[in-house]
Structure 1
């Protein structure tokens, strides 16, 4: 994944050590109830559309921007679905903790396609026919779809792995 100038500057100063970043991810639904996913170019895994926030950018603005940049799909944010801290170590050794805020979004325009170098493929998937996804992706989808839940968050002292909401059949 290409790093922004902001991230490059931080890495130049701090090397591969731990840096915390604000990130967003989108559970985008179309009128058929399908979920928008992208196959990542860095690890070839299918994932929700996601990315880092830019300095000064609000989370809802970032999720709209990231979705358009990566997939050419215009979205309307419907609701905040959750927020959590999770750890990532990239293939090059960069160590990050991501504060991820995820939203349920509705597609309102554009045609889904690979729109940048971060994805190999982009597509719409029925909920019952999702490609292999991480447990974390299933968690975000499930919490975004459940209108009966408030925005999800880890309670003080709780670990993400112990709390993830499970999709039926996941």
Structure 2
């Protein structure tokens, strides 16, 4: 069950996703939060320059590996506007981050993009626990998912 702290961090993820879209990028945003509920780092998608690995979840996993102890990582949560892709799921698990909370699921995003006629990407759209079975995952969050869907519609239709 998500609490108000969870919702506050998820709202920030949606803001970061919109910031990414406004900067000409794909709408994804993420926040890394320690066990005490403090935001330690945040990022947004940065793939518009052609480097398709510049996902915020991957950046936060690298940041955590460099700036947090293994014990701190084991108590941390990554909040994100969209469920991690396989690359980001693996990075999350490899650095030992504990929990992922996402607004919209991989299944939702896949359906939205299909409805918009967007062809699938080169990597299979798989849920986090298919890649990282021991990572605690919560989501989707229906009360925010429509905002994320609207960002993807705007990206692909301009409206």
The structure whose Rg is larger is 1
If the length of structure 1 is used for normalisation, what is the TM-score?
0.26
Higher relative contact order by CA 8 Å / sep ≥ 6: 1 or 2?
Answer: 1
Structure in which a larger fraction of residues adopt strand: 1
